[in-house]
Amino acid sequence: MGNGTVKGLSVNAKTLILVLLFVNVGFASKMINKYYAMKESGYIREKTFKDQLQQRVMKSFGSMEELNKMVADITRQKEEAEKAAASFKDQDEQLRFVNKKLEDTKVKLEEEKARLQKEIWELEDSLTTAKKTLVTKDAEILELTKKLEEHSKAPGAWNLPQ
């Protein structure tokens, strides 16, 4: 390096390469530091959130154990509610089946009621006809009784009515 030239590259080129190398190393170092600072701030942010959450839990519940108990209770209650919902679903299906059977039975009973009502009306018509016949027969019997009395008052004429 005494004469200012090195084989192949000039001193200016070497200086420029060294300056660019230091700039690149400095930039890389700066970016690495920035990365670690961001990583640390993210960790601190998460840690701060976790600490704040724990403080709120401690304020509200007194301890993490109580919170864990509550979470376990809520989970158990949720499972019980899901079981109850499944049971209600089964009961709903059974009730629908029973309701359908009741509807079918109701229709059959309505048909039977209509049939019986028709029979009642027919029997009432028969009864009315029978009453009319009885009234007519009673009138005929009464008339015949009167004729018989008239004939019995007259001793000479014993004729049968026609």
Tens-binned pLDDT, residue by residue, of the chain (162 aa): 455 544 678 888 889 898 988 888 888 998 898 888 887 777 666 777 777 777 777 777 667 777 778 788 889 999 999 999 999 999 999 999 999 999 999 999 999 999 999 999 999 999 999 999 999 999 999 998 888 888 777 655 555 555
pTM higher than 0.75, yes or no?
A: no
Dihedral of the alpha carbons of 133, 136, 141, 142, in degrees to the nearest 10: 140
